[in-house]
A and B are shown apart, each in its own frame.
Chain A
Amino acid sequence: MLRRPHYIALGIVVLVTVVLLKLPSRAATKLKLVISALYVPFFTTAGSTQKSVEKAANAVMPRKELLEQLAELQKQNQQLRVRTMQLESRAQENDRLRIHLGLPKEVLWKGKWGRVVAKDPANWWRTIRIDRGSRDGIVTNAAVITEEGLVGRVSDVGFTHSQVVLVGDPDCGVSVIIEETRDHGMVRPTASVPLDPSIVELNWLPRNAKLAPGQRVITSGMSNYFPKGILLGHIIDFRSVGYGLYTEARIKLAVNMNGLEEVFVFLP
């Protein structure tokens, strides 16, 4: 049996827990940000140390290798310039047609790059922490991407850091369409979490959807969070569920969530 001091300590801890769990969500979020701010100097130090190590590694890189990389990048740059010219002419054409059809002009994406400083220490959530906050103009629910595709959305914003909830987390549902067939579906958490974290389930597809492995899945633009057309991943396989009422597909995410280093956060 426990002794009196143990009961007192247990009472204190239970009281603290109950008070914290009963806090309104806004107050709890603010308190979380205040407590996590203790780690900000450590994140900054870790980031600058990493940069120093990278600089040191670059300093000892052989000149031959650097020249090869430079040549490769120049080649890529030329190809991208040609591609940009082509896309610009298409964008102008698109704008003209939109005016004729009376549709609003497409807004260009603007945002900021942020560095991933931490990942969720708990195994049952998929979130990351980035070194961009309200001082950089980041707002809650802003979409987060990399050049490979959709990463997630901002869930909590601190002054210098923000928390991003990744695709595949229970708090991050995404409305998507299959690019080829234009069928709508929803990526949302399911009871059966796949063993591979880079795979998510796409639900509520119509039963007659003409799916095939390898088809691209992009954001539908129907939610307020994610702009239309961001690549989410590719279909691996699919099956009929709900006594044939719906189709469910498994998607291999385009972004490697375990290897995230830098992300692009959309600004309003």
Chain B
Amino acid sequence: MSSLHTALIIAVAFLVVFFEATVGGFRRVLGAQVELLPSLMIYAGLTGGLPTVTLLAICGGLWLDSLSANTLGISVLPLFLVGIVVQRYRGLILKDQRFAQMVIGATASAAAPLMTLILLVNTQRQPLLGWIFIWQLLVMTIIGGLMTPVWFRLFGWLSGKLIYRSLGETSFRSDREIKRGRA
């Protein structure tokens, strides 16, 4: 895991928040805005280290809250909790399977907003809640689940273009080389 890979994830998180704030198509058509940071966190948790997860939670959460009416910092902890669980138990997850990616992405996309809401309610704020939230949560879950494999493909492509691959060790050893010819 290179620092460039971490930087790429953080840069994409910045753009994701900008996309969520400026693109209103989902809101107009589906009646709900999508939340893509949890699915990105799943990618970071499955492929990156703990510093990547921590940095993504802090930066992504703060950027999201700064453009929202959320209390500043409220989205950081839910994002981090999603990331740390996935990062800790990633050995048990079939991370190369697209279906597994989608299921975990969908679960994270439902869990993170729910945790944020619980925190918000506990900070004396009164967010807009009603039956419509079930629909909004469903939209966030489905789109988040569908987007998770996309992150894997996107970052796979970006890594291939921008990051050098380390050469694998060869089995050749000069001290074991058989010199042919007459002695």
Contacts and interface: CB of A to CB of B under 8 A. Distances in A.
B92 interface: no
Contacts of A179: none
Interface string A15-32: 011011101000010011
Interface string A151-190: 0000100000001010011110000000000000000010
Given A13-B76, A193-B128, A5 B50 contact: yes
Interface in A35-52: 35-36, 38-39, 42-43, 46
A122 B71 contact: no
Contacts of B113: 123
B67 A191 contact: no
Q: Interface on chain B toward A: helix, strand, loop, or mixed SS?
A: helix
Given A20-B73, A119-B21, A35 B136 contact: no
A125 B68 contact: yes
Contacts of A33: 66
Nearest to A256: B28
A24 B119 CA distance: 18
Interface residues of B, number: 55
Contacts of A195: 31, 130-132, 135
B152 interface: no
A14 interface: yes
Contacts of A192: 130-131
Contact of A169 (B65, B69, B72, B132): B69
B160 interface: no
A119 B70 CA distance: 13
B130 A119 contact: no
Interface string B56-72: 01100011111111111
Interface residues of A, number: 54
Interface string A109-123: 000000001111111
A193 B130 contact: yes
A128 B58 CA distance: 23
B67 A2 contact: no
A98 B53 CA distance: 66
A162 to B, nearest CB: 13
A252 interface: no
B84 A9 contact: yes
B17 interface: yes
A117 B22 contact: yes
11 contacts: A20-B71, A21-B123, A31-B72, A39-B18, A43-B22, A119-B21, A120-B21, A120-B33, A121-B33, A124-B127, A125-B68
Q: What are the 4 tightest A-B residue pairs by CB atom distance, in nearest-first order?
A: A20-B73, A193-B130, A124-B127, A121-B20
Interface of A: 2-3, 5-6, 9-10, 12-14, 16-17, 19-21, 23, 28, 31-33, 35-36, 38-39, 42-43, 46, 117-127, 129, 155, 163, 165, 168-171, 189, 191-195, 197, 258-259
Given A123-B133, A123-B140, 4 more contacts: A9-B54, A13-B77, A17-B74, A38-B63
